[in-house]
Structure 1
Amino acid sequence: MAPNQLPRLLDGRMKFRHLVLLDAIARRGTIVGAAAELHVTQPVATRGLRELEDILEVTLFDRGPRGLIPTVYGEAFTEHARAILAQARQAARHVVELAGAERGTAVVGTHLFGSNVLLPRAIAALKAERPNLTVAVRDGTPESLLVELAAGRLDLIVGRLTQISDEEFTRRKLYDEYVVLVVRDDHPLAGAEAVDLATLAGYPWILPGPETALRRELEQLFHSNDVPLPANRVEATSFLTVRQLLRDTDVVAALPRLITEEDPGIVRLPLSLEPIGHSVGLTLPSTRKPTPSACALIDKLVAEAGEVNRRLNPGP
């Protein structure tokens, strides 16, 4: 490409399929994985990537030992491609909702914090008023959900806020909640008047994945108390998995305080984790407006968060 010469992206050669393919390759890390996701053959996917690189006149991916690695051009153009795809998806859904009156779909991503109390209550309140509106819930890690939100496959994320708002995402705090240590109600330590971290380390643990902020905070807690991280552990973020393991085994888990109040089979341990606190809230894309269905869900989330706040901080 000549200096100061922009690639001609509007001459009809670049198609939406090129952008969809680029997004899939960036997420999957291989041509094979992207082809499988898009239900095309590997040669078709390879040809599509070559066409896009010819249009842009740059190399978008380098081959690495574990697959394709985005170049600086690939990272930059993937971000723009996802924004374009997100706007297109949003436009299509907006038209459908306008044509369908009370019908529509709100797609919300969630992880452990916020999914156990706030989101179910907001959905129930929304469905009571608009029974024909569909709410699709997607579970995932905070990092994977942000990718889905940027690409327009999610309308919003409900969960822990670990970053401040930036150019790409707007974050709205709804309430603060502490993390507590819990076991099943007939656990050997249930009902103990006092426990220490060294004793707890002798039991199996459920820990969040290493990519999460809570995991890093728990690792720091063990390190600052000179206690090794439990070797006998399961890494899980799905509440259904965590809850069943808590009920069936002697595991110790760190969970949001509200979970212990909602589930009588789970009890808190008398060891404070008060320094480990977090804010629960909404993460929204900064560059596009929510659909009418997403707005309706957001309104219910804000309303239900007020009730959660009153439970967590009762007045005199």
Structure 2
Amino acid sequence: MAMRAVDLLNGRLKLRHLVLLVAISEQGSVLHAADRLRLAQPAVTRALREVEDLLGVQLFVRHPRGVTPTLFGHTFIEHARTVLAELRRAEERIGELADGTAGTVTVGTLLAGSNVLLPRAIAALKSERPGITVIVQEATFDAQVPRLLDGEIDLILGRLNPIEDAPALRQVRLYSEPVRLVTRTGHPAHDLADPVLADLLAFPWVLPLEQTALRTELDQVFRSQGLTLPADRVECTSMLTIRALLRDTDMIAALPDLVARADPELAPLPVPLPSVRRPVGVTLPAGRPLTPSAHLMLKWLHRQAAELLTALDATG
């Protein structure tokens, strides 16, 4: 005889039914299951009857010393245990996410902050909470903002761009960092006596992309001295590419001070850019709370930035 169709998702089957069935199976008795769950025996008996009526089959065989699962009972209880185990794992997972022991934080990074600050913050975070996964994605600020607002990334780290016309964003300043003109060590520009910006136009350059804040400031520096941007140039924001070009050619680039200082194969030129100095910080969505993992990342960015600020102040 074919078993009638059963809809277990119509709301009649309750989570308490699964708990009771597993307890009855483990205890081998409705009475002992009631004692374990601190329920009255009639309530447990009634719940068992409800499930059997819903399924249209007998789940347990009653005998003087208790009950024994039928074939239907063994099958259904196996699934009930799986459901309860998944719910327990979900509870544990939610707890881990809530206290930050697990989870994912996605950081959109710009050039400033990505070479020194971010690696230090990631290392500190992973030392404290190894279960957190950190995803780093590099792009320009304009490309990162839509993804930040959509929730694809949690925060943007880099030089703070103006956001006066973007009420959906907020920013946290971490430190202020100067920008240096940098070449490889041994570059011929270091042989020039008291070089000025105009002298450096004889060499090829690596410039940031047009839509970046650093490019805008460099444009202003060149114009203020009656100069145009170098005609022989590459436009790039990838630090790996910039470093390789500087190391292997006679190119010149404008890099954040910490980036330049951390690389022994690079050397700053004695041509100051006093007007090119902007705060480094974090851009966040104004209307969305941070996840616990993102909160921890922001905490370590603050702590590591404080150490870097001390180092910057000590060296002027």
The TM-score normalised by the length of structure 1 is: 0.67
Change (3 A) 1:191 1:120: farther
> Given the alignment of the two structures, is residue 208 of structure 1 paired with residue 213 of structure 2, yes or no?
no
Q: Please give the residue correspondences for 1:146-225 in structure 2 after superposition, counting only pairs within 5 Å.
A: 146-164=145-163, 166-190=166-190, 192-225=192-225
Superposed displacement of residue 142, structure 1: 0.5
| Contact kept? 2:101, 2:131, Cα under 8 Å | yes
Q: C-alpha deviations, 1:49-69, integer Å up to 9, x for none?
A: xxxxxxxxxxxxxxxxxxxxx
Larger radius of gyration: 2
What amino acid is aligned across from residue 194 of structure 1 in structure 2? D
Q: Please give the residue correspondences for 1:90-101 in structure 2 after superposition, counting only pairs within 5 Å.
A: 95=94, 98=97
DSSP-derived class of the 1:190 partner: helix
> Given the alignment of the two structures, is residue 267 of structure 1 paired with residue 267 of structure 2, yes or no?
yes
Q: 2-side partners of 1:171 and 1:98: how far apart?
A: 24
| Contact kept? 2:109, 2:139, Cα under 8 Å | yes
The TM-score normalised by the length of structure 2 is: 0.67
Partner of 1:135: 134
Change (3 A) 1:175 1:193: farther
Q: C-alpha deviations, 1:148-170, integer Å up to 9, x for none?
A: 10110000011111225652011
What amino acid is aligned across from residue 243 of structure 1 in structure 2? R
Superposed displacement of residue 101, structure 1: 6.3
| Contact kept? 2:100, 2:132, Cα under 8 Å | no
What amino acid is aligned across from residue 185 of structure 2 in structure 1? D
Partner of 2:125: 126
Give % identity: 47
| Contact kept? 2:100, 2:292, Cα under 8 Å | no
Superposed displacement of residue 184, structure 1: 0.2
Q: 2-side partners of 1:293 and 1:225: how far apart?
A: 46
Change (3 A) 1:99 1:170: closer
Q: C-alpha deviations, 1:168-191, integer Å up to 9, x for none?
A: 011010100011100000211135
Partner of 1:283: 283
After superposition, the CA RMSD in angstroms is 2.0
Superposed displacement of residue 217, structure 1: 1.4
How many residues are matched? 223
| Contact kept? 2:183, 2:246, Cα under 8 Å | yes
What amino acid is aligned across from residue 311 of structure 1 in structure 2? A
Gaps of 5+ in 2: 1-92
Superposed displacement of residue 141, structure 1: 0.3
After TM superposition, where is structure 1 displaced by more than 4 Å over at least 4 residues in a row? Answer: 94-97
Q: C-alpha deviations, 1:207-254, integer Å up to 9, x for none?
A: 000111211111121122122211110000111111110001000000
Gaps of 5+ in 1: 1-93
